[in-house]
């Protein structure tokens, strides 16, 4: 009985049929990680289209939530990649004002060319990201704690240095027409240019996650960091690179805000900490890592922004927006769990699984 397998070695399936080609189907579509977030976004869009009236659907209405989405989206994308890799970055909340103040103090208070301020602000983002990454890999402390520490440290540093250097917590910035046009202007009087930056970053991050080897490494690290390292993935370098990208993107948003509003405040940006996490989680990224998509993150960002801004177009008190977001977050996570389970369990087309 037990020696049967030994006496009759396996009959290997000879004439191997080519693997099925990728035929799109409903069943296949439902197994995409972003289905839950797509349904969520359509639901809130329909809801606010009905209750928000014509204004919500107008160009001005769309601009109001697209502008919010573009700034949030630029930060949510690298934060999402980090989350897929199994990390969190809370320090973005301080990175935004730190970067705003850097450009405003250098190019506003000290009257240096705007390009110097831009380079310094973005460089600061890369540096903070590098420090976050090195701390996480060297200390093995969870990135939640490490970036919580840098969140506070950077906020304190920004406030302290701003007072020492400029004597104020708010600094004015005059930037030239080119910097204005590229980073901080409204197109057609309504749409922020950051929208185009967001689209560009979506394309870059989408390429990285889906079409580069680096993207596979991110997924593998989030799935199992030890196995990923044993498979030869330079996990330390990937971690540092991801933290540097989230630092860079947060610095970019802070810098473009300073140019857009012609001034910088010390206390801006804290709302981005949780908003970016909410957008990413609504987008179907698994908080513990290993799973997520760029399309999902974009949809999560749009959903969040529609709720956040749409409420102003309805007759409801705007105070209810947070309640809706809270309920939406929970609903989205539950829905995403369901779709993830569906992606894991599927009915095979052929039942002849084991040849005996």
Partner 1 sequence: MTPPLLRLTGINKSFGPIDVLHDISLEVNRGEVLCLLGDNGAGKSTLIKILSGVHKPTSGTMEMDGKAVAFDSPRDASDHGIATVHQFGGTFPLMSIGRSFFVGAEPTRRWGPLTIYDRKRANEIAVTEMRQLGITRIDDGDRLVGGLSGGERQALAIARAVHFGASVLILDEPTAALGVKEAAHVLRIVLQARRKGIAVIFITHNVVHALTVGDHFAVLIRGAKAADFRKGEKSREAITDLMAGGEQMAELEAEIESFSAANDRHAPHGASHA
From candidates 1, 26, 54, 164, binder to partner 1 by CB under 8 A = 1
Among the listed residues 200, 243, 238, the one whose alpha carbon sits nearest the alpha carbon of residue 217:
238
355 binds partner 1 (CB under 8 A): yes
User: CB of 56: closest distance to partner 1 in angstroms?
Assistant: 37
From candidates 58, 216, 262, 263, binder to partner 1 by CB under 8 A = 216
Asked whether 238 and 221 are in contact (CB, 8 A), the reply is yes
Among the listed residues 36, 22, 25, the one whose alpha carbon sits nearest the alpha carbon of residue 291:
36
Hey, how many other C-beta atoms are within 10 angstroms of the C-beta on 220? Answer: 19
Site string for partner 1, 15-34 (x = CB under 8 A): -xxxxx-x------------
**Total residues interacting with partner 1, rule: CB under 8 A:** 52
Dist. CA 125–CA 119, nearest whole Å: 10
Dist. CA 191–CA 320, nearest whole Å: 26
From candidates 74, 124, 286, 297, binder to partner 1 by CB under 8 A = 286
Backbone angles phi, psi at 142, to 5 degrees: -55, 140
From candidates 5, 29, 141, 330, binder to partner 1 by CB under 8 A = 5
Dist. CA 199–CA 185, nearest whole Å: 16
188 binds partner 1 (CB under 8 A): no
Please give the helix or strand (H or E) that residue 41 lies within, else none: helix 35-57
Please give the helix or strand (H or E) that residue 68 lies within, else none: helix 59-84
Tokens of 306: 């529609």
User: CB of 16: closest distance to partner 1 in angstroms?
Assistant: 5
User: CB of 4: closest distance to partner 1 in angstroms?
Assistant: 8
Nearer Cβ to partner 1 (164/347) = 347
**DSSP code at position 10:** -
Site string for partner 1, 114-143 (x = CB under 8 A): ------------------------------
Q: Exposed, middle or buried by CB within 10 Å (0-12, 13-18, 19+), for 117? A: buried
The residue range among 104-112, 154-162, 229-237, 269-277 that interacts with partner 1, by the rule CB under 8 A, is 229-237
Cα dist. 202→76, 189, 265 in Å? Answer: 10, 24, 28
Nearer Cβ to partner 1 (84/193) = 84
350 binds partner 1 (CB under 8 A): yes
Nearer Cβ to partner 1 (174/229) = 229
Among the listed residues 158, 181, 182, the one whose alpha carbon sits nearest the alpha carbon of residue 169:
158
Nearer Cβ to partner 1 (62/343) = 343
What residues numbered 194-213 form the site for partner 1, per CB under 8 A? 207, 210-213
User: CB of 345: closest distance to partner 1 in angstroms?
Assistant: 6
Nearer Cβ to partner 1 (163/231) = 231
319 binds partner 1 (CB under 8 A): no
Dist. CA 42–CA 175, nearest whole Å: 39
Among the listed residues 352, 112, 138, 123, the one whose alpha carbon sits nearest the alpha carbon of residue 244:
123
User: Which spans of this chain sit near partner 1 (rule: CB under 8 A)?
Assistant: 1-3, 5-6, 9-13, 16-20, 22, 207, 210-213, 215-217, 219-220, 223-224, 227-233, 286, 290-291, 340, 343-346, 348-356
């Amino acid at each position: 009985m037990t020696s049967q397998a030994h006496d009759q070695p396996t009959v290997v399936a000879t004439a191997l049929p080519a693997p099925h080609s990728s035929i799109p189907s409903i069943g296949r579509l439902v197994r995409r990680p972003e289905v839950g977030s797509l349904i969520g976004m359509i639901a809130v869009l329909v809801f606010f289209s009905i209750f928000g009236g014509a204004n919500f659907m107008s160009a001005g209405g769309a601009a109001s939530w697209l502008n919010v989405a573009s700034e949030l989206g630029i930060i949510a994308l690298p934060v999402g990649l980090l989350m897929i890799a199994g990390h969190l970055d809370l320090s973005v909340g301080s990175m935004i004002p730190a970067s705003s103040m850097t450009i405003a103090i250098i190019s506003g208070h000290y009257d240096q060319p705007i390009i110097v301020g831009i380079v310094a602000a973005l460089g600061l983002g890369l540096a903070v990201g590098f420090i976050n990454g090195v701390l996480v890999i060297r200390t093995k402390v969870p990135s939640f704690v490490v970036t919580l520490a840098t969140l506070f440290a950077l906020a304190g540093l920004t406030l302290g240095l701003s007072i020492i250097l400029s004597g104020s917590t708010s600094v004015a910035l005059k930037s030239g027409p080119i910097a204005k046009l590229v980073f901080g202007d409204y197109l057609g009087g309504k749409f922020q240019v950051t929208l185009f930056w967001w689209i560009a970053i979506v394309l870059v991050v989408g390429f990285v996650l889906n079409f580069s080897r680096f993207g596979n490494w991110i997924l593998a690290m989030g799935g199992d960091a030890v196995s990923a390292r044993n498979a030869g993935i330079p996990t330390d370098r990937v971690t540092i690179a991801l933290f540097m990208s989230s630092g860079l993107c947060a610095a970019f948003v802070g810098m473009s805000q300073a140019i857009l509003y012609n001034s910088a405040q010390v206390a801006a940006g804290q709302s981005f900490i949780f908003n970016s996490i909410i957008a990413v989680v609504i987008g179907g990224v698994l908080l513990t890592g290993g799973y997520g998509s760029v399309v999902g993150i974009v949809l999560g960002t749009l959903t969040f922004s529609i709720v956040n801004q749409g409420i102003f177009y309805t007759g409801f008190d705007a105070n209810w927006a947070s309640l809706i977001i809270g309920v939406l977050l929970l609903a989205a996570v539950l829905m995403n769990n369901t779709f993830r389970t569906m992606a894991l369990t599927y009915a095979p087309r052929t039942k002849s699984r084991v040849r005996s």
